[in-house]
Amino acid sequence: MINLTLKDGSVRQVIGGTTILELASSISQGLARSAVAGKVNGEVKDLTSALKEDAQVEILTLDSEEGLEVMRHSTSHLLAQAVKNLFPGTILGIGPAIANGFYYDFDSEHIFTPEDLVKIEKEMKRLAKEDNKFECQEISREEALKYYGEKGEKYKVELINDLPGEARISMYTQGNFTDLCAGPHVPSTKALKAFKLQSVAGAYWRGSEKNKMLQRIYGLAFAKASDLENYLFKLEEAKRRDHRKLGIELDLFSLHDEGPGFPFFHPKGMILRNTLEDFWRKEHQKRGYVEIKTPIILNRALWEQSGHWDHYKENMYFTKIDEQDYSVKPMNCPGGMIMYKTKLRSYRDLPIRCGELGLVHRHELSGALHGLLRVRNFTQDDAHLFMLPSQIKDEIIGVINLVDYFYKVFGFQYHVELSTRPENSMGSDKDWEMATNALKDALEAKGMEYKVNPGDGAFYGPKIDFHLKDCLDRTWQCGTIQLDFQMPEKFDLNYIGEDGEKHRPVMIHRVVYGSIERFIALLTEHYAGAFPTWLAPVQVRILPISDKHNEYAQLIRNRLKDQDIRVEIDDRREKINYKIREVQTEKIPFALVVGDKEAEERTVAVRRYGQKNTETLGLEEFITLIKEEIQSKKTRLES
């Protein structure tokens, strides 16, 4: 008998040689029916795998990410089988599972078209219904080379030759199709139900441009048809919400060949940007921050001192001034160090919280550029906090509270990740342990759940990252808190302690937005361009029905402007329904229609964005309503 420890901690005794599927059946028939694989001591295996010794065992279903990955990899084999059936002579590459789906690479004289994908998907569905078992067979290297060599599968032969010398070669067969594969796979093709082929792209064999370009077919695969439909809906929504498209349509920003990765902000985009910055300043002032501004270009010696020259040089831009090397800053922190050193500091001065909306430049490969999400110059809402060691926990908690407040204002949910020491780090083991424990202590004091990312910290310290979730359930890393014992040491920062001696301060680097540009992109997509009233570049557009109502429209505009409300008048000689449609297209929060009745009664016919009905309000009543909406920062997420 062997002892198997299950996921819930319970222990089951079974006869050695019992399969994972038999174990699942002994737990419940329902679990056996939904099982797709098992995990034994952390390794994912087929359900037919025998359990021969004591182990920790988990039965995997399609409710788990690991179960989905097994199913998606199996679907890639189904794709390969369908392609071989429909296009004989096609040579196989590889077909792994990827996020939300799978792909397979093919070497074929036939160029796959969108019409071909429809045929291939139909054939996949036919094959899936055959309920063919995925059966594993292990053979020797020589047998495998002979088998694939005779079939002309040159890429499989290459893969086999690259395997370790003593390795047994595993192959999986379903129906009339056999593929080289380490597995595992679902029990049979009937488990493959909710999939869809998506696109075809070129891909060099093994990712090297020295090799032949193959055709890569991408597909999606989910546990249920409803999950697939929901994902496809979100893909369409993502296209509709794409900030690059909306940025042009709403006249917010543009990108040009004259400056790849260097965005141009238009007047309306600047209103949005300035509103975000004003909010940032106001909330930081409340929390005891002071604002600074440091130069964009600083000399090489500073970047050598900070460590960026050794650890970050490939991402920096350089210039010469008076025959000396200078760099355009990729980060704001070295300038913050210089500011700290401008005068002698006392322990009574600490903590010092210096905020900076600092423009930085980082070299990104042209292929990585993506609208405002990945650019070459951006403004970080940086802050550098200098403190006593005894103040670390309270300061980190203060930053967490600030980040939490900001994200709730914008209607974002988020999760937290803690990234620990990377390989190319600076500093002693003691400093890193102290810094990492301080971040953990603050998170635990707040009662926050967090995921640990081993080795993903900054080169100078561990960090807490905040990952936003938008209305399409996509996640984006924005806010970060980095605890740093290294920079104060490198720049010889000091304060005079209670004992009259010099001591080293501790430092926190942190951002909330991450970068203004990226945050604007996220907000644009999150709200689908329908910004909350307090953020909207134009908050109200007044629509006089005819020329004789222009005078009353001007009176309304002046009254609203007096209240700092951003307002326009559309006094063109167009039909009122046309004007209303334009307000909706431009996603302006409020349209005020004014005609004879409104002018006589000093009222406005209010039409909210996204609503078809109008509501008549007194002018002062409307002003009270919109001011309350602006002050409360109420969101108006599109449904």
Q: Which residues are catalytic?
A: 333, 362, 380, 382, 384, 463, 509
Residue with tokens 């010889």: 492
Determine the Cα–Cα distance for residues 538 and 520; give it in Å rounded to an integer: 16
Q: Tokens at residue 543, please?
A: 């629509």
For the chain, the straight-line distance linking the first and the last C-alpha, in angstroms and rounded, comes to 57
Q: Are 337 and 313 in contact (CB under 8 A)?
A: no
Among 566, 561, 556, 639, which Cα is nearest to 593's?
556
Residue 450, classified by CB atoms within 10 Å of its CB into exposed (0-12), middle (13-18) or buried (19+), is: middle
Kindly list the distances between the CA atom of residue 32 and the CA atoms of 35, 39, 136, in Å, as whole numbers in the listed order. 5, 14, 20
327: DSSP letter:
E
Determine the Cα–Cα distance for residues 596 and 174; give it in Å rounded to an integer: 76
The residue length of the chain stands at: 639
Among 41, 43, 106, 34, which Cα is nearest to 71's?
34
Mutual angle of helices 65-86 and 114-129, in 10-degree steps: 110
The backbone torsions φ and ψ at residue 242, rounded to the nearest 5 degrees and listed phi first, read -50, 120
Determine the Cα–Cα distance for residues 555 and 572; give it in Å rounded to an integer: 17
Residue with tokens 């077919």: 217
> 263 Cβ partners below 8 Å, 6+ apart?
253, 254, 255, 372, 375, 377, 517
**DSSP annotation string for 271-325:** HHHHHHHHHHHHHHHHTT-EE----SEEEHHHHHHHTHHHHSGGG-EEEEETTEE
Determine the Cα–Cα distance for residues 404 and 468; give it in Å rounded to an integer: 11
Helices assigned H by DSSP within 565-618: 576-585, 596-601
Determine the Cα–Cα distance for residues 361 and 383; give it in Å rounded to an integer: 17
SS3 assignment, position 458:
strand
The backbone torsions φ and ψ at residue 637, rounded to the nearest 5 degrees and listed phi first, read -55, 135
| 447, 453, 455, 460 alpha-carbon torsion, rounded to 10° | -50
Among 34, 2, 29, which Cα is nearest to 16's?
2
The backbone torsions φ and ψ at residue 525, rounded to the nearest 5 degrees and listed phi first, read -75, -40
Helices assigned H by DSSP within 383-451: 392-409, 429-445
Pairing type for strands 135-139 and 169-174 reads antiparallel
Among 364, 329, 355, 374, which Cα is nearest to 518's?
374
